[in-house]
């Protein structure tokens, strides 16, 4: 599968180690009017702040994100509603719990009332010995499937189809939420009246999250001199404020949208690509 590259918009991946995304569909060639839209998304952890100018360094991950298919109103393309992946396949593994249960098999002998006390003592010793000998431990294994990522499909307030991804285990997202080749997100339909006289429509795929979904760990000051200079220049109150400012600046440099990142519910666009014709 050979993809056509060269679209500058597809360089919008400021934190490629946190999330990368590729999107593609078969080309609209004038004969094919509908095709599957694929989106390959990979989550991970980034080591941020390696630049000398950065006053802080930290690790950045995401604990929840949404993958959104954006179709501008001006584009002559629509979605086949029946084709939308409503419940994405969920990668799973085996969780095995082993518990131990102790059981005792009692071997009791009949004791006559006419038996002498010494015999009773001997009989009791035999009974206790039998209990100890027949005591066993059984291991019970309980297996259940766990979801590494949980995917829920819905729509944004603007009516775009999206898939919200959150970890099934652990704290943050890691790996792929679905097999992009086998599980396309939806089918798009070419609405052009005469495909031979106009350019093919385009579709974008983006990864969004909220400020509260950013997991910042191992945050530290790199150099006290650089830190003091940065504080006086940018007005940082603390290390976390510096980290948030760093993230905002990197996203802005790539032309990615950031809305009120100072608020925990602020909206962040982490990646944005135009689906490639293949």
Q: What is the pTM of this model?
A: 0.73
One domain, residues 152 and 263: yes
One domain, residues 152 and 56: yes
pLDDT value for 132: 47
- Indicate the number of domains in the chain: 2
One domain, residues 192 and 225: yes
What does the alpha-carbon distance between residue 257 and residue 263 come to, in Å, rounded to a whole number? 15
Scanning the structure block, which residue is given the tokens 């969780």? 95
Instruction: Collapse the DSSP code of 157 into the 3-class scheme (helix H, G, I; strand E, B; otherwise coil) and give the result.
Output: coil
One domain, residues 179 and 51: yes
Span 198-202, average pLDDT? 88
Residue 183: domain span: 8-91+148-277
Cα angle value 220/226/228 (rounded, 5°): 90
Q: Is residue 3 part of a domain?
A: no
**CB-CB neighbours of 186 under 10 Å:** 22
One domain, residues 16 and 105: no
204-253 pLDDT tens trace: 999 999 999 999 999 988 878 777 777 777 777 788 888 898 898 889 88
76-111 pLDDT tens trace: 999 999 999 986 545 555 666 666 665 555 545 544
Among 117, 142, 167, give the residue marking a domain's end. 142
Q: Is residue 1 part of a domain?
A: no
Q: Is residue 2 part of a domain?
A: no
Contact in structure between 188 and 70 (CB atoms under 8 Å): no
């Amino acid at each position: 599968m050979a993809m056509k590259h060269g679209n500058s918009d597809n360089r919008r991946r400021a934190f490629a180690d946190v999330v990368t995304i590729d999107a593609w569909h078969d080309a609209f060639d004038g004969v094919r009017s509908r095709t599957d839209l694929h989106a390959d998304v990979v989550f991970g952890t980034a080591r941020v702040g390696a630049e000398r100018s950065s006053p802080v360094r930290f690790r950045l991950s995401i604990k929840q994100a949404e993958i959104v298919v954006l179709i501008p109103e001006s584009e002559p393309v629509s979605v086949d509603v029946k084709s939308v992946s409503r419940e994405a396949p969920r990668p799973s593994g085996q969780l095995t719990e082993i518990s131990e249960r102790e059981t005792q098999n009692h071997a009791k002998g009949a004791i006559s009332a006419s038996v002498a006390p010494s015999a009773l003592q001997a009989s009791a010793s035999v009974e206790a010995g039998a209990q100890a000998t027949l005591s066993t431990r059984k291991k019970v294994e309980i297996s259940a499937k766990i979801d590494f990522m949980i995917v829920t499909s819905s729509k944004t307030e603007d009516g775009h189809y999206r898939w919200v991804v959150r970890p099934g285990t652990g704290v943050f997202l890691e790996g792929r939420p679905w097999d992009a080749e086998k599980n396309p997100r939806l089918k798009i339909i070419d609405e052009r009246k005469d495909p031979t006289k106009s350019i093919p429509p385009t579709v974008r795929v983006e990864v969004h999250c909220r400020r509260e979904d950013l997991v910042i760990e191992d945050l530290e000051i790199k150099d006290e001199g650089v830190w003091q200079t940065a504080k006086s220049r940018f007005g940082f109150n603390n290390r976390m404020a510096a980290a948030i400012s760093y993230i905002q600046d990197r996203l802005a440099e790539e032309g990615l949208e950031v809305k009120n990142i100072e608020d925990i519910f602020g909206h962040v666009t982490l990646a944005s690509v135009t689906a490639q014709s293949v």
